[in-house]
């Protein structure tokens, strides 16, 4: 009889092989020029189970731009600072519109729908920045990632940050618009600078799956026994990931994969199988909603074969 660990290793390898052969890869993000240079044929998958076993396939050690996946971790940090008061600044409803929608922000008078659309994440970054210099706030975010992944080698890709800083006109529009409603407390350039830089954190699938373990295990890192956040908070972060983590593709992701997940335009997805595993996948080609195409396909295969959907095995 195949052991559960052997099964997980086999399934991860099978999926990595299958994904390598797929012709449908989506389109790499081009609105951030530096991301347009990434090779669309890359694919990585890492699953870390409750015992700390690491199952890896494909380009599992190659760092990529985590982009909006960083928003899960800035939300966690900001909840630590502001507690539930945070929900006065941003909502927690699915947006049903694009991640950089301006029209929705106008309609809702500068209060972003949720912490994962760009406007919401910029408001959260502003909250972390308050009372600090941009450099200190960014250092805090980076150190949090290094602590969670247990890896001090994680860095920010300055070329990606600079590329977005030069071209991020829409984010500047969203930030200025929120500022006009008094939603942002700090100078817009400072908040945006920290936001672009935390989006430009580069991590491999293995590092990202390591960083997500506390969400898979009710707020505790099972390797160290340390509590990162209280159980209730971890469960709630997962619920926001399920409902809002893929923008206007969140319904489709829940339908097909059945796990909380957060995507980034670098092609990464962090997915959480509660009580079972922390999962990171990377396939740079995106679908029309800006979510990794093969990343979603791979996760759909994984949850089906492992019986991990939160809606029933």
Binding-site ranges for ligand GLN (CB under 6 A): 67-68, 99-100, 118, 164, 171, 199, 264-265, 290
Query: Least Å distance between CB 134 and ligand GLN?
Result: 16
Per annotation, catalytic residue among 60, 65, 68, 278: 68
Per annotation, catalytic residue among 71, 179, 262, 276: 71
Query: Least Å distance between CB 232 and ligand GLN?
Result: 27
H or E stretch at 236:
helix 231-244
Nearest to 201, CA basis, from 263, 138, 286, 150: 138
H or E stretch at 38:
none
Q: Which residue is nearest to ligand GLN (CB)?
A: 68
Residue 277 tokens read as 């595993």
Residue 152 tokens read as 């001090």
Residue 8 tokens read as 């997980």
Active site residue 304: no
Spatial neighbors of 227 by CB under 8 A, at least 6 apart, are: 219, 220
Residue 33 tokens read as 């020029």
Q: How far apart are CA 185 and CA 204, in angstroms?
A: 33
How distant is the alpha carbon of residue 132 from its chain centre? 24
Q: Which phi and psi (to 5°) does residue 219 adopt?
A: 95, -10
SS3 assignment, position 86: helix
Query: Least Å distance between CB 270 and ligand GLN?
Result: 12
Query: Least Å distance between CB 176 and ligand GLN?
Result: 14
Q: Would you say 50 or 173 has its CB closer to ligand GLN?
A: 173
Per annotation, catalytic residue among 47, 195, 204, 297: 195
Per annotation, catalytic residue among 38, 72, 265, 281: 265
Residue 254 tokens read as 């829940």
Q: Would you say 114 or 221 has its CB closer to ligand GLN?
A: 114
Active site residue 177: no
**110-138 burial code (b ≥16 CB/10 A, e <16):** bbbbbbbbbbbbbbbbbbbbeeeebeebb
Q: Would you say 71 or 220 has its CB closer to ligand GLN?
A: 71
Per annotation, catalytic residue among 11, 95, 247, 292: 247
Query: Least Å distance between CB 77 and ligand GLN?
Result: 17
Query: Least Å distance between CB 96 and ligand GLN?
Result: 15
Q: Would you say 161 or 310 has its CB closer to ligand GLN?
A: 161
Contact between residue 27 and residue 257 where contact means Cβ atoms under 8 Å apart: no
Query: Least Å distance between CB 76 and ligand GLN?
Result: 17
Q: Would you say 197 or 276 has its CB closer to ligand GLN?
A: 197
Nearest to 259, CA basis, from 206, 229, 298, 224: 298
Q: Would you say 219 or 267 has its CB closer to ligand GLN?
A: 267
Active site residue 71: yes
Q: How far apart are CA 25 and CA 2, in angstroms?
A: 32
Q: Would you say 100 or 104 has its CB closer to ligand GLN?
A: 100
Residues tagged active-site: 68, 71, 195, 247, 265
């Amino acid at each position: 009889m195949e052991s559960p660990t052997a099964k997980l290793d086999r399934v991860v390898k099978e999926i990595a092989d299958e994904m390598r052969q797929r012709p449908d890869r989506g389109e790499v993000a081009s609105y951030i020029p530096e991301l347009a240079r990434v090779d669309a044929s890359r694919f990585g998958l890492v699953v870390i189970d409750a015992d700390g076993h690491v199952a890896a396939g494909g380009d599992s050690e190659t760092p990529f731009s985590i982009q909006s996946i960083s928003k899960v971790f800035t939300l966690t940090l900001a909840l630590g600072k502001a507690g539930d008061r945070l929900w006065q600044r941003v909502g927690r409803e699915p947006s049903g519109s694009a991640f950089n929608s301006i029209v929705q922000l106008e309609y809702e008078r500068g209060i972003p729908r949720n912490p994962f659309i760009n406007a919401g994440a910029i408001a959260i970054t502003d909250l972390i920045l308050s009372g600090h210099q941009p450099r200190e706030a960014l250092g805090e975010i980076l150190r949090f990632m290094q602590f969670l992944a247990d890896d001090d080698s994680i860095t920010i890709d300055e070329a990606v940050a600079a590329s977005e800083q030069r071209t991020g006109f829409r984010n500047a529009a969203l930030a200025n618009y929120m500022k006009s409603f008094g939603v942002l407390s700090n100078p817009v350039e400072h908040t945006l600078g920290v936001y672009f830089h935390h989006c430009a954190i580069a991590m491999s699938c293995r590092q990202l799956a390591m960083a997500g373990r506390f969400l898979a295990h009710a707020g505790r890192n099972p390797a160290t026994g340390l509590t990162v956040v209280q159980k209730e908070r971890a469960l709630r972060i997962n619920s926001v990931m399920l409902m809002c983590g893929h923008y206007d593709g969140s319904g489709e992701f829940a339908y097909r994969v059945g796990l909380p997940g957060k995507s980034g335009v670098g092609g990464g997805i962090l997915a959480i199988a509660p009580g079972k595993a922390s999962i990171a996948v990377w396939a740079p080609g995106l679908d029309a909603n800006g979510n990794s195409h093969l990343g979603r396909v791979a996760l759909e295969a994984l949850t089906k074969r492992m019986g991990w959907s939160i809606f029933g095995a």
